[in-house]
Amino acid sequence: MLTHEDGGMMGQFIVYDPLSTTDETSNTELKIFPNPASSLIHFESEKEVGEIIIYSIDGKSILTKFVEPSKTIDVSDLMDGSYLIEIALENGTRIMRKVNIFR
């Protein structure tokens, strides 16, 4: 986990290789499923999940949502393909994962 040089005022980030086959964020206990998804993505976490930002593979922010109590977001409006999803947890940690959407 990295803390910004400002002493943590900007939050903490977990940095890992999104193409890696090992889950270097296992201490965070965040699960995103199904992957690939078709219309809904579900989240399970020990920490409360807040804002979700979905980026196109070229880094453009295309969707920002706040997770409802069901910890589910609807992605049925997105085109098939690969996306990066940034998840903000209640403790300020932000996690980036790759998600595939196929129908």
Q: Is the pLDDT of residue 16 over 90?
A: no
- DSSP secondary structure letter of residue 58: T
CA distance 86 to 98: 9
Domains held by the chain: number:
1
Residue-level pLDDT at 56? 96
Q: Which domain holds residue 73?
A: 2-101
Q: What pLDDT sits at residue 29?
A: 73
41: tokens are: 């993505």
The CATH number of residue 31's host domain is: 2.60.40.3080
Q: Has residue 52 got a pLDDT over 70? A: yes
Give 23-50 pLDDT, tens digit per residue. Answer: 444 455 789 999 999 999 999 888 888 8
Residue carrying the six token digits 């998600």: 99
pLDDT > 80? residue 85: yes
Q: For the chain, give the percent of residues with pLDDT over 70.
A: 73
Residue 8 has pLDDT above 70, yes or no: no
Q: Is the pLDDT of residue 22 over 70?
A: no
